[in-house]
């Protein structure tokens, strides 16, 4: 990898510079709105819906939330990861002595089960550089096929991080390839943060113009800030796995007055960043089979330095598997947009997490908040969606006649 010490400072200006560097290689993905979901977010949950949750017996929150969805599911390779991959690779190529030292011929290597694998493969092909991708044997077949389709050499490994890293070490020894990590590197974080810059600009323009033609708009009246600047986002909520994107988005919002929150699944300890945030110590190991498979990774050291140590993320929240499935169904049926389970975890927080909703109610008041929500990716197969929403077979369960 490029030397982290030679990376640009972790600031909003560096995120803007990263966007300038990679914008020719990425899609300027749309921001969508949806009246139904905005109204649901702004409607108190019924007391019965809170039964069995940590908020059972409490008065339901009454927030006013206007949702704005950044659709990285429509990004190249179907996920935001391509932003960090292109930025890290271009920074590596600009490193003094890289070309002369045979960097182009040696190529790059990474380990990933899916989205980063595809992202680095595409970036490397675009730059005419060999890519060696270490993927667990349990990776989704469609993601393996997609990675190979971009011309990468795929090497299989065991599923644990230790097994992956051992194979990566062998590849580096054999080829001299440079490692481009999935999330734990400043260049990756700055690249991922470019979606936050776009989201802020897009929402401000959409509010100033009354929305974009052809898009459903939230029911509300928008104000204009002093100085003539159009009203923009009050907050952004983004999913967190390794934390590369969440930390990048936090950097993109630094000194803007926009709050940044993180969202995780809670199943089998997948909410490691939330737990670390509350204990003051980063959790380094996670073993979970949450349906939000893109968020099964523990938060990295560099992202943690932004998320927690610099406090650029205000708070972390988590949601149950059932909440994730409900949010996914709403997006599929009401927005007609295909996203993966990981992508709807922030929406699930906005809809169902009463701790978050009470913050919006208290601080947003009657005017409420304009909340940017990141759809991180759309790499999910029809078979996987079918299994998530399959109706149990009564006879198979011994309930039939």
Strands, sheet with 369-375, edge to edge from the N-terminal-most edge strand: 31-32, 65-71, 369-375, 235-239, 259-265, 315-319
Give 231's pLDDT tier (boundaries 50, 70, 90): confident
User: Into which CATH architecture does domain 81-183 fall?
Assistant: 3-Layer(aba) Sandwich (3.40)
| pLDDT score of 207 | 94
Quick check: 22 and 55 in contact, CB under 8 A?
Answer: no
CA–CA gap between residue 262 and residue 243 (Å, rounded): 9
Q: Which tokens hold the place of 180?
A: 């481009």
- In CATH, 4-78+187-382 is 3.90.650.10: no
Tell me what the mean pLDDT of segment 246-251 comes to: 98
Taking CA atoms, 237 is separated from 64, 111, 186, 315, in Å, by 15, 27, 21, 10
CA–CA gap between residue 154 and residue 356 (Å, rounded): 41
CA–CA gap between residue 247 and residue 239 (Å, rounded): 10
CATH 3.40.50.1100 in the chain, residue ranges: 4-78+187-382, 81-183
70 pairs with which residues across the strands? 31, 374
| pLDDT score of 382 | 87
Tell me what the mean pLDDT of segment 12-26 comes to: 97
Q: What is the DSSP letter of 95?
A: S
- Relative to beta strand 65-71, strand 131-136 is unpaired
pLDDT in tens, 81-106: 999 999 999 999 998 888 888 889 99
pLDDT at 194 over 60: yes
pLDDT in tens, 328-366: 999 999 999 999 999 999 999 999 999 999 999 999 999
**Can you tell me whether residue 395 is helix, strand or coil?**
coil
Quick check: 83 and 244 in contact, CB under 8 A?
Answer: no
Please, what is the Cα angle at 268 between 264 and 269, to 5 degrees? Answer: 55
pLDDT at 125 over 60: yes
Quick check: 118 and 77 in contact, CB under 8 A?
Answer: yes
**Which one is predicted more confidently, 325 or 395?**
325
Residues noted as catalytic = 81, 113
| pLDDT score of 197 | 98
Give 393's pLDDT tier (boundaries 50, 70, 90): low
């Amino acid at each position: 990898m490029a030397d982290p010490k030679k990376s640009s400072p972790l600031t909003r200006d560096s995120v803007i510079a990263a966007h300038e560097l990679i914008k020719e290689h990425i899609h300027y993905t749309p921001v969508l709105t949806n009246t139904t979901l905005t109204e649901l977010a702004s409607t108190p949950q019924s007391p019965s819906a809170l039964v069995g949750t940590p908020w059972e017996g409490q008065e339901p929150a009454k927030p006013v939330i206007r949702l704005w969805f950044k659709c990285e599911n429509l990004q190249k390779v179907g996920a935001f990861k391509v932003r960090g991959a292109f930025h890290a690779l271009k920074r590596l190529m600009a490193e003094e002595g890289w070309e002369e030292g045979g960097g182009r011929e040696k190529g790059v290597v990474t380990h990933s089960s899916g989205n980063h694998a595809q992202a680095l493969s595409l970036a490397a092909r675009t730059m005419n550089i060999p890519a060696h991708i270490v993927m667990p044997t349990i990776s989704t077949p469609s993601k393996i096929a997609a990675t190979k389709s971009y011309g990468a050499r795929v090497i299989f490994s065991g599923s644990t991080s230790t097994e992956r890293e051992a194979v990566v070490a062998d590849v580096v020894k054999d080829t001299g390839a440079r490692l481009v990590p999935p999330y734990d590197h400043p260049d990756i974080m700055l690249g991922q943060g470019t979606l936050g810059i776009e989201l802020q600009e897009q929402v401000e323009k959409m509010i100033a113009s009354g929305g974009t033609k052809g898009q459903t708009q939230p029911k509300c009246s928008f104000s204009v800030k002093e100085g003539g600047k159009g009203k923009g986002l009050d907050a952004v909520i983004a999913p967190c796995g390794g934390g590369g994107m969440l930390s990048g988005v936090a950097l993109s919002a630094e000194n803007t007055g926009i709050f940044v929150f993180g969202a995780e699944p809670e199943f089998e300890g997948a909410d490691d960043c939330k737990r670390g945030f509350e204990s003051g110590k980063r959790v380094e190991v996670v073993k979970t089979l949450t349906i939000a498979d893109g968020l099964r990774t523990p938060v990295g050291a560099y992202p943690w330095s932004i998320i927690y140590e610099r406090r650029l993320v205000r708070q972390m929240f988590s949601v149950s598997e059932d909440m994730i499935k409900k949010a996914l169904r709403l997006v599929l049926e009401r927005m007609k947009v295909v996203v993966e389970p990981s992508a709807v975890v922030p929406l699930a927080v906005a809809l169902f997490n009463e701790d978050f909703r009470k913050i919006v109610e208290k601080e947003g008041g009657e005017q409420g908040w304009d909340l940017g929500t990141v759809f991180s990716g759309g790499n999910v197969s029809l078979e996987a969606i079918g299994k998530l929403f399959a109706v149990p077979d009564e006879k198979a369960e011994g309930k039939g006649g």
